[in-house]
Structure 1
Amino acid sequence: MTIKLYNTKTRKKEVFEPIKPGHASMYVCGPTVYERAHLGNARPVLVFDILYRLLRHEYGAENVKYVRNFTDVDDKINARAAQTGRPISDITDETIGWFLDDMGALGALEPTDAPRATAYIGQMIAMIEDLIAKGHAYAAEGHVLFKVRSYTDYGALSGRSVDDMIAGARVEVAPYKEDPMDFVLWKPSSDDLPGWDSPWGKGRPGWHIECSAMAYELLGSAFDIHGGGNDLTFPHHENEIAQSKCAGHDFANVWMHNEMLQVEGKKMSKSLGNFFTVRDLLDQGVPGEVIRFVMLSTHYRKPMDWTEKKREEAKRTLGKWWERTAQLPSEGEISVPSDFIAALANDLNTPGALAVMHDLYREGRLQELESCMVFLGIDEKADFGGMATFGFSASAEELLLSNELGRRWMDLRDRKQFGDADRLKSSAAEIGVELTVTRDNGTQTASAILSGAVDIEKLKALIR
């Protein structure tokens, strides 16, 4: 199988070729742990969870290493501790537990490694010392700063020039900086803030150095994929590249970024009243699989718009799929269809993969549908409290014939033979088959819903 991924660095889709044949490595920037994960935080988790599953399918689970970090030293965490009077370690431990529980409820696999930044302070100090020795960083007033102009390719990932960035800057430049664009690798800590001993005094790391040090420690000098939200492209990922390259590391080959999330067409914001966490939705009774389905219905490089309409459509679709696959006999492992995998291998085209699954449902290929659901992590068959499309176990023949009836009905509608379509729908209703249209991402499909056992001969007669 050929996997193609869009590389932000080259701005084109490329064939994925691992550095080590038969093995794959990936680093994804994780959360800063001081509060519950909101819905937007979940998007990169789910995007790269699908990529992780695809890589495991291609290379074997034992040959894929996936690292996603926790930033547990940060000024936002310090502020939360000061506000609440709680120890920083209590806040970070609690928030990490929340995050893992919430992402698990969305069906996300845990990565191979989930390092905490505070466990790698020694590695960060060593990398900073190396950058100073090589002339790429300097100490000033208890700080250590990276010399941006010492790395000639700075700005290549985000497509910005240093001079343009300086011209557009509206921040006050610290007096200890040699250049306005230089960024902090290390900063001093007062007695009331977390700090570690270093050659530059008691202090704590800047944000960007964390990921460079952890990636190097866990994945080595070069690894295959670095991912995150596109809000991290600049400055975080740009700074990671600069400091890692200047430290002599090859760093990541492929850079992948997901687009942001909106709610009902607007940026999620507390001031707009459309801000909510993953836990908010789960506590409202929205199954994690529904949240996951809605997220996967939009390609990761397009803005994701969470709407109530999409949530209801996802709920209906999964309800039908779960109901029809719930009573399937166990036939061992069923391979996922090649066109399903091909869609995912084409730059994680999850809408295309879901379209394949809609076809499998209409064609009554339920074993294959279930295998795809397992692959995507939407196979838990949550209890929707009476949402099921029918309450009995339909036979395979009933399913196949009713789905064929749905295709015939939709074909009449597509050919604008509405009179014949209406008559067929009425006849189907008389024998207990409801024909409806389902809309998913603008695509109309027919659904045949059985209210109970049907007369097979009458069903066959309608199809003839």
Structure 2
Amino acid sequence: MTTIKLHNTRTRKKEVFEPLNKDDVRMYVCGPTVYDRAHLGNARPVVVFDVLYRLLRHVAKEKGWGKVTYVRNFTDVDDKINARADETGRDISDITAETTQWFLDDMGSLGALEPDQMPRATQYIPQMVAMIEKLIADGHAYAVEGHVLFRVRSYQDYGKLSGRSVDDMVAGARVEVAPYKEDPMDFVLWKPSDETQPGWDSPWGRGRPGWHIECSAMAYELLGESFDIHGGGNDLMFPHHENEIAQSCCAHPEGTFANFWLHNEMLQVEGKKMSKSLGNFFTVKDLLDQGIPGEVIRFVFLSTHYRKPMDWTAEKAREAKKTIKNWRSQTREVEPSEVPEDVLALLADDLNTPGVITALHRMANEGEFSKLKAVGVLLGLLRNEMGDWAAGLHTMEDLVNDHVEAYDLASELAERLDAARAEKNYEEADRIRKVLQEAGFEVKTSANGTSVEPNSDFDPAKLEALK
């Protein structure tokens, strides 16, 4: 039987995962604020927790657990959305509906399954109001000037998730300074809305919820006062997740909120933080439009462990595309086997996806194509619905047989490359080598001369154009 071990941010160690209720394994992941296209960094937690969702379902079936319930929310009331509406003159509901569908489409292109529940914050305003009322009644929150604020020092475990003390947080913390706060660390649960802003009636006047209360209310309504796993990027650890824990545990002290906390590390591009000012900021849609398949993006993500910073590079994408093309050639007419226990154990060891990918390379090299297909599918790769970009893919032998003239021309060019080298015309030799490589050939020069072999990027049209 598979044993799942996960690194729990709350305890700072890897622990054996056992569900609180084996009839319903429950996971909540913080979702997007829907005002624009998802950038590449937004996609990393989606892929990470999609893999965990797939693993949980696989192991649940193996162990006879019940269902797995995966909840990921949409924040569709937020000041960023209001600002976008002001900029564009569009209705807020139109913006959130459009960008929500964009998100689902883009994440679907990466092979991410849709969660079992995808609540929108605006659907749970009454539940948020009820939770805030209870926090006030129990002395954990206070109303002032149309705002309601959470009394941070009323929760003695505040800061344990991120490993900080409240006093240490005050200096330089990401907190809003306001004269009506009892303490600088107190955070907003409810704030007033003017006539141009979305708002709902409440005991404190017309207003809208703060960001943090949304997830607490939705998680409680859909998963209860205690559930198994809460996930998100590590940029959410403080203040968002700290605030979620505080308000949830104070509103429902009979529960423990989330048992396991998982956080993925951030993403870089070509070794640098993604930034519009550096010109290395792009969305998932940007990459798809550049012809980089979603399956390739997913593979690059999974090549780095989720708890390590991930560096997206064009070279990684090129290599991933070659790898996936080869694997699809090898498995196109293969039925998947059972997932090997040793490889499943790798994935169950805190989502060791790099280790699993190493195993996939070994399976491909050793001709274990049924296993290759089975493990790939578990990771969300090599699935039929992900393969549109590789439609009509042939084996290398098929390609060579279908394009004999192009292959003959490549051999002729290899001879010309050797002749140029013999004449010490290295500029011409380099030019020919480049032509061959761009046409998808591996070019190897030895004492016996130059040989060419087509790789997964073999494009006969680029050679045939030279005839």
Give yes or no for TM over 0.5.
Answer: yes
Q: What is the TM-score when the length of structure 2 is the normalising length?
A: 0.82
More off after superposition, 61-70 vs 341-350 = 61-70
Paired letter, 2:290 = Q
Give unmatched runs, 5+ long, in structure 2.
401-443, 461-467
Partners in 2 of 1:365 and 1:166 — Cα distance? 57
Paired letter, 1:193 = Q
Partners in 1 of 2:200 and 2:33 — Cα distance? 19
Paired letter, 2:236 = L
Q: Secondary structure of the residue that 2:228 maps to in structure 1?
A: strand
Partners in 2 of 1:231 and 1:389 — Cα distance? 44
Q: Secondary structure of the residue that 2:14 maps to in structure 1?
A: strand
Shift of 1:170: 7.6
Shift of 1:96: 0.5
Q: State how 1:15-30 maps to structure 2 within 5 Å.
A: 15-30=16-31
> Does the CA contact (< 8 Å) of 1:320 and 1:388 recur in 2?
no
More off after superposition, 264-273 vs 367-376 = 367-376
Shift of 1:349: 0.3
Partners in 2 of 1:134 and 1:339 — Cα distance? 51
What is the aligned partner in structure 1 of residue 133 from structure 2? 129
What is the aligned partner in structure 2 of residue 418 from structure 1? none
Q: 1:385 to 1:214 in 2, by over 3 A?
A: closer
Q: State how 1:221-300 maps to structure 2 within 5 Å.
A: 221-248=225-252, 249-300=255-306
What is the aligned partner in structure 2 of residue 94 from structure 1? 98
What is the aligned partner in structure 2 of residue 116 from structure 1? 120
Shift of 1:371: 1.2
Paired letter, 2:54 = R
Shift of 1:158: 0.4
Q: Secondary structure of the residue that 1:168 maps to in structure 2?
A: coil
Paired letter, 2:282 = F
Q: Secondary structure of the residue that 1:204 maps to in structure 2?
A: strand
Encode CA deviations 1:159-183: one digit per residue, 9 max, x unaligned. 1111111123486620110110000
Q: 1:426 to 1:363 in 2, by over 3 A?
A: farther
Partners in 2 of 1:124 and 1:426 — Cα distance? 75
Q: State how 1:410-449 maps to structure 2 within 5 Å.
A: none
- Aligned partner of 1:358 among 330, 354, 361: 361
Partners in 2 of 1:337 and 1:393 — Cα distance? 32
- Aligned partner of 1:372 among 367, 372, 375: 375
What is the aligned partner in structure 2 of residue 321 from structure 1? 327
Partners in 2 of 1:257 and 1:169 — Cα distance? 20
Partners in 2 of 1:291 and 1:169 — Cα distance? 35
Shift of 1:339: 1.7
The percent identity for this pair of structures is 69
Q: After TM superposition, which residue ranges in structure 1, 4 or more long, deviate above 6 angstroms? A: 385-389
What is the aligned partner in structure 1 of residue 144 from structure 2? 140
Partners in 1 of 2:365 and 2:176 — Cα distance? 61
Give unmatched runs, 5+ long, in structure 1.
395-422, 437-446, 452-464
Q: Secondary structure of the residue that 2:119 maps to in structure 1?
A: coil
Partners in 2 of 1:135 and 1:368 — Cα distance? 58
Q: What is the TM-score when the length of structure 1 is the normalising length?
A: 0.83
Paired letter, 2:140 = H
Partners in 1 of 2:174 and 2:291 — Cα distance? 44
- Measured on the aligned residues, the alpha-carbon RMSD in Å equals 2.4
Q: State how 1:152-163 maps to structure 2 within 5 Å.
A: 152-163=156-167
Count matched residues: 404
> Does the CA contact (< 8 Å) of 1:319 and 1:389 recur in 2?
no
Shift of 1:62: 5.8
> Does the CA contact (< 8 Å) of 1:287 and 1:382 recur in 2?
no
